[in-house]
Structure 1
Amino acid sequence: MALLFSNITTAEFLTPILLSLRVAVIALAIVVVSATVIAKFMAHARFKGKIIVETFLMLPLVLPPTVVGFLLIIIFGSNGFAGEIIRMVFNETVMFTWYGAVIASSVVAFPLMYQSAKAGFLSVDKDIENAARVDGAGEFQVFMRVTIPMAATSLVTGALLSFARAIGEFGATLMIAGNIPGRTQTLPTAIYVAMQGNNMILAWAWVITIIVISFVMLLFVRLKSQ
């Protein structure tokens, strides 16, 4: 294997990066679809308890990651209702797998996408949507051809912020997915282990990598918002 730095192989350096990117991309896909659909409904919905529902949806944004991880273990663990269903259907568990990391990343990234998507949908001119309906467009056509394009900036902003949040997730991921090198070790957990082992060269290499990724995401968000 090629040496990237002294005593550090390319594979050793790239493995947690590639896993983090895979987890973040899949989590992003889940979050974009689910948060967009829910935000579209909640943007103009009127019902008792709406503020309670929205507070619940935003809760992962303020909860400590360890609390999120604890709740995910309760839900997806071997004794959790979701965990039992997954075991019956797939004959396996998500605990200590990279699928668990995807779940953790999706949960913590969801509020960012939801908040941005809802703001975007609220900014869409209802008269334009109604005009499209008068012209014969169905609700799905209005949503895809009018609402989505008009809220595109907010949706892209939410997606980029969600991706950055997903790739940087640590606490909840560590609790549900563990820290198994080559299997569940993502960038944040790899940095933690490198620090614990006083491997500062490798830790710095990963820290710089995640800073660059996050900086690019945030820079793009700033440019889109201007």
Structure 2
Amino acid sequence: MPDDLSPFALSLKVASISTFFVFIVSLLLARFMVRRNFFGKSFLEALILLPLVLPPTVIGFGLIYLFGINGPLGSLLDEWFGIRIVFTWVGAVIASFVVSVPLMYQSALAAFEKVDPRWENVARTMGISEWRIFRTITFPLAWPGIFAGLVLSFARGIGEFGATLMIAGYIPGQTETVPLAIYFAYEAGQMEKAAFWVLVISSLGLAGISWLNYWRKKNEVRLGRE
């Protein structure tokens, strides 16, 4: 076991923060897109899903271009707030966010599409506000699919490597996540250390997926009884 377990703590921190923002943004996007038809909808959805098919190096390059010291967003953040994104753990959060949004969006969209709009329409005829309809009808009915997306997004955030390496770099104790620890331990010939982190991240992913499958089956049985 390595003496320094900070990569595990940082990975959990990065994945948790990114998943929180992924949840909010993807939920808003999916809710907006689910039953609206407008010019450019297909193109907008393609943009949302684009990180699924792009190589991590392309995503990393785009993030560096945007958030680099001379980038449009990076220069503004540095000039106005004194905040730098590149080579910080915040950069790792942004990278995890970008690659996880498509997974959460697809899950939320599919979940919202399964909600029978008649339930919402009945509530509207009773004068109930859209926010209350969403909070008491739409969201609870769509929750199983949304929750599955959350689990997958969290797992994707923990496993992100390529884009994270480009924007956050490898700084032990500061930007060293578990995937980065595995890669650089292997490069240094520290096979035992690399194997330990491989076992940790694999076990975490297996546990998450197994628990999700169990929760899904349990939920299906409960709904079947009802």
TM-score, structure 1 as length reference? 0.93
Residue 103 of structure 2 is aligned to residue 112 of structure 1: yes
**Where does residue 155 of structure 1 map in the other structure?**
146
Alignment of structure 1 residues 67-106 onto 2, 5 Å: 67-106=58-97
Aligned residues: 217
SS at match of 2:148: helix
**Where does residue 45 of structure 1 map in the other structure?**
36
**How far did residue 221 of structure 1 move?**
2.7
Mapped to 1, the partners of 2:114 and 2:98 lie a distance apart of 25
Mapped to 2, the partners of 1:44 and 1:82 lie a distance apart of 32
Output the amino acid matched with 2:101: F
Deviations 1:110-153 (A, max 9, x none): 00000000000111010111112222320000111111000001
List alignment gaps of at least 5 residues for structure 1.
Answer: none
State whether residues 157 and 224 of structure 1, in contact with CA within 8 Å, keep that contact through their aligned partners in structure 2: no
1:144 pairs, out of 135, 141, 145, with 135
Q: Percent identity?
A: 46
1:123 pairs, out of 107, 114, 125, with 114
TM-score, structure 2 as length reference? 0.93
Deviations 1:15-72 (A, max 9, x none): 0000000000000001000000010000111111111110110000110000000000
Mapped to 1, the partners of 2:204 and 2:98 lie a distance apart of 20
Residue 207 of structure 2 is aligned to residue 219 of structure 1: no
**Where does residue 26 of structure 1 map in the other structure?**
17
- How large is the Cα RMSD of the aligned pairs? 1.0
Residue 192 of structure 2 is aligned to residue 201 of structure 1: yes
Deviations 1:162-186 (A, max 9, x none): 0000000000000000010000010
State whether residues 98 and 184 of structure 1, in contact with CA within 8 Å, keep that contact through their aligned partners in structure 2: yes
Deviations 1:73-116 (A, max 9, x none): 01111121111221123212100000000000000000000000
SS at match of 1:151: helix
State whether residues 170 and 189 of structure 1, in contact with CA within 8 Å, keep that contact through their aligned partners in structure 2: yes
Output the amino acid matched with 1:39: A
